Structure 1
Amino acid sequence: MQRLFTIDIHTHILPEHIPNFAKKFGYGGFIRLDHHKPCCARMMIDDRFFREVQDNCWSPQTRIKECNHHRVDVQVLSTVPVMFSYWAKPLDALAVSEFLNDHIAQIVREYPDRFVGLGTIPMQAPDLAIRELERCVKELGLAGVQIGSHVNDWNLDAPELFPIFEAAEKLGAAVFVHPWDMMGAEKMKKYWLPWLVGMPAETSLAICSMIFGGIFERLPNLRVAFAHGGGSFPATIGRIQHGFEVRPDLCAIDNPIAPKHYLGKFYFDSLVHSPEMLTYLVDLVGANRIALGTDYPFPLGELEPGKIIHSLPYSDDLKEQLLSGSALEWLGLKKSDFAFVQSWDF
C-alpha cells in the first residue's frame, strides 16, 4: 500500500501536572489530575470523578509511539473540552487558557514535525478571548483555536461572539468547534446518552447557529471545522433546508441565504464510525471538506486512525485528500512544512 501523508485534526491533550486552580481562584469546578498509579490518572472536578486517562493523554513520547504504530504523521493538539472553563470568572478562565496554550505551544516547539497546536480562549469574555487568540497565533505559533458548541447561554450566532470570529478570519486562524456541556443532559442520566445523543445534537446546533446567524455569509474566509462529522447536521440537512423554505419567517430572520448554499463552505472531521456515513458525507460536501479526525486518545474515537477511509474504494489521491489534504487547507499549512515527509524516516 502506498504511504499516504496522514494528519489527525481531532486529538486531545492535557498537561501532566495541572495547578490547583480551585485553591488559586478560591472556588471549585476546575479539573485536577490524581496520579493514582503509574501512567494513569483520574480527572477530578473537585472531589468528583470525571474520567480516567492514560499517559497518552499527556506524554508526547507515548503519542508519537502510538502514532508511528498507526501511521499517523501529524496530530493536531487541542485541550479536552471540559477545560474550556466558560463558566468561570473571565480573568480566571484566561489564566487557565494561558496555561493550557503555553503547554501545547511548548510541545509543538519540541516536536514541530509531529504536532500542530490549537489554543483555547475564554469565549465568555470576547475582549479577553480576542487578546488570547492573537497571542496564540502571533506569539505562540498555534494554527488556531478550539471552541465549544455554545458559550453558556450564547449560541454561536450571538452578536457578542462575532468579533471573535472576525478576528480569527483576519488572523487566518483555523477554528475547531467541539461539542461540550451537552443540551438535555439532565434528562439523559443513563446509557452514556449525553455523549451518544447530546454531542451530535450540540454540533448541529453550532452549525445551524452559524449558518442562520450569517457568520459564514459575513466572513467567507473564516475556516471552521466541526467535530464528529458534523454530528446530526449532515443527516438532517434536508429537514433544515425544508424548514428554511416553508418557514422563512422563523428561519431566515438573520440570513436570507438557504442553508444548503453553505455546504462545502466549512469542514468536518471524518469521525462518523461508519463507511456508509463517510461515503454520504463525501458526496454531500466533497472530500476537500473532510479531514481525518479520531478523538484520540478517548474510547469513543476511531481506535484505528483512518481505518474507514482506507476501507473505501477510493483512489489514493482521494484518500490522501481525506487523510491530510483537507487538514492542510483548513490549517493553512503545506505538506512541505513538515520536513520529515520526504524521507518517512521515523
Structure 2
Amino acid sequence: MLKIDIHTHILPSELPDFRKKFGYGGFVSLEHHKPCCARMMIDGKFFREIQDNCWDPEVRMRECAHHQVGVQVLSTIPVMFSYWAQPQDALDLSMFLNDHIADIVQRYPKRFIGLGTIPLQAPELAIRELERCMKIGLAGVQIGSHINDWNLNEPALFPVFEAAQELGAAIFVHPWDMMGKEKMNKYWLPWLVGMPAETSLAICSMIFGGIFERLPRLRVAFAHGGGSFPATFGRIEHGFRVRPDLVAVDNSESPRKYLKQFWLDSLVHDPVMLDYLVRFMGPERIALGTDYPFPLGELEPGKLIGEMPYSNDIKERLLHGSALEWLGLEKRLFA
C-alpha cells in the first residue's frame, strides 16, 4: 500500500548567518562538526543534534525505501518559525526555507510534497508568502500552535485562514514554544506534557473561535494525534454545555460539530489510542504521520497502522487516503 507521511521535518544543509544578516540573535545556526551530523545552535548554545537525513533528500529516500514509505510531506523544524523576529526578517527567513523545500519537491515530485512557513506575526506578509508558496509548487503551510501572545482564534489571523481556504492551501498545525516550559525543566517534560497541551490549545482555539464555522472548506491537520484534545474531549464538550457563558462566547455551536472538519496525524505510539482516534474521528480523518527523523516519532513508519486489525480499506485510508484528501491531491500523481 502507498504510504504518505504527512509529518516530516527538513532543513537546508547550510544556513546563512542570520544573526549577522539581521543584526540580532535568536536564530538557528548549524555546526557540521563531524560527517553526516550537525549541531543546531542558537546564540552559541546547543539546541539539538541532527543527522544527514534531516537535510539530504537522497538519504531520506533510501530510508523511506527501507520502510516502504512512498511520499513524505516536508515541513521545517518548528524552532525555525521565528515568530518573535522582526516581520521582514521572518519573511526573508521563510522565503529561504520555502525555496529550499520547493526545490526538493521540483526535483523529486513523486517522492516529496512541500509545506512552507509564513511570518504569522505580520498577517499581511504571511498572506503574501502563502500566495507565493502556492505559486512555487508547495501544497500549503505549517504553522505553530500559537503566535507569540496570539492563540489561533486571534482576529488578526483570520484573514490568513481565509486566504488559505481561497487558495486551497493545506495547513499543518505543529506545537512549539510550549506553555509552562519554565516549570518543566526536567524529564523532557516540555515535549512530553507541553506539546500535547499546545495542540489541544490550538484545536480548541480554532473551534471556539469559530474558524471552522466560518471557513468550512479550510483544510487543517494537527500533529501528534491531536495531542491531549481527543482524550479530554469529553471534558471539553461538557464544559461547553455547562458553562456556555465562558466557553461559547464566540461560537454557539457544539465542538462535536467540527470533528469531521479537520484531520489528525496518527502519531500516538499506542494501539489502544490509535483505535480510539479511528473510532472518535473516523479513519477518513486520520493520516499517517511520523515526525521523521526525530526520536519522538514513529521509528518504523506505518508499523502501528499495519499491525492494527483493520480491513485493507481502512488501512489504505490511514496510510494515504486521508492525507491526499487533506492535501487536495490525487493518488495518480505519485504512481
TM-score computed with the length of structure 2 as normaliser:
1.00
**1:191, 1:7 → 2: CA distance?**
32
- Residues 143-181 of structure 1 show CA distances to partners (whole Å, capped at 9, x for unaligned) of 000000000000000000000000000000000000000
TM-superposed CA distance for 1:213, in Å, is 0.1
Does residue 1:272 correspond to 2:268, yes or no?
yes
Aligned to 1:147: 143
Does residue 1:136 correspond to 2:133, yes or no?
yes
What residue identity is the alignment partner of 2:180? G
Does residue 1:99 correspond to 2:71, yes or no?
no
What residue identity is the alignment partner of 1:115? F
- Residues 88-137 of structure 1 show CA distances to partners (whole Å, capped at 9, x for unaligned) of 00000000000000000000000000000000000000000000000000
What residue identity is the alignment partner of 1:45? I
Aligned to 1:257: 253
**2:64, 2:52 → 1: CA distance?**
14
What residue identity is the alignment partner of 1:304? E
Aligned to 2:79: 82
TM-superposed CA distance for 1:315, in Å, is 0.9
Aligned to 1:43: 40
Aligned to 1:299: 295
Among 55, 58, 74, the residue aligned to 1:58: 55
TM-superposed CA distance for 1:15, in Å, is 0.1
Does residue 1:111 correspond to 2:108, yes or no?
yes
Secondary structure class of the residue paired with 2:121: coil
TM-superposed CA distance for 1:337, in Å, is 1.0
**1:320, 1:48 → 2: CA distance?**
43
Aligned to 1:33: 30
TM-superposed CA distance for 1:14, in Å, is 0.2
- Residues 37-88 of structure 1 show CA distances to partners (whole Å, capped at 9, x for unaligned) of 0000000001010000000000000000000000000000000000000000
Among 337, 340, 344, the residue aligned to 2:333: 337
- Residues 263-292 of structure 1 show CA distances to partners (whole Å, capped at 9, x for unaligned) of 111000000000100000000010000000
Counting only pairs closer than 5 Å after superposition, residues 185-204 of structure 1 correspond to structure 2 as 185-204=181-200
TM-score computed with the length of structure 1 as normaliser:
0.97
What residue identity is the alignment partner of 2:64? C
What residue identity is the alignment partner of 1:53? I
State the identity as a percent. 76
Among 280, 283, 289, the residue aligned to 1:287: 283
Does residue 1:182 correspond to 2:212, yes or no?
no
Secondary structure class of the residue paired with 1:141: coil
Does residue 1:210 correspond to 2:220, yes or no?
no
Does residue 1:312 correspond to 2:294, yes or no?
no
Does residue 1:15 correspond to 2:12, yes or no?
yes
Secondary structure class of the residue paired with 1:157: coil
Q: Which runs of 5+ in 2 are unaligned?
A: none
Aligned to 1:165: 161
What residue identity is the alignment partner of 1:11? T
**2:167, 2:268 → 1: CA distance?**
30
Query: Which 4+ runs in 1 deviate beyond 6 A?
Result: none
- Residues 220-254 of structure 1 show CA distances to partners (whole Å, capped at 9, x for unaligned) of 00000000000000000000000000000000000
**1:261, 1:307 → 2: CA distance?**
31
Secondary structure class of the residue paired with 2:310: coil
What residue identity is the alignment partner of 1:80? I
What residue identity is the alignment partner of 2:199? T
Q: Which moved more, 1:226-235 or 1:311-320?
A: 311-320
How many equivalent residue pairs?
335
Secondary structure class of the residue paired with 2:233: helix
Q: Which runs of 5+ in 1 are unaligned?
A: 342-346
Among 305, 314, 324, the residue aligned to 1:328: 324
TM-superposed CA distance for 1:316, in Å, is 1.1
**1:68, 1:272 → 2: CA distance?**
23
**1:224, 1:30 → 2: CA distance?**
28
What residue identity is the alignment partner of 1:39? C
Over the aligned positions, Cα root-mean-square deviation in angstroms equals 0.4
TM-superposed CA distance for 1:317, in Å, is 1.3
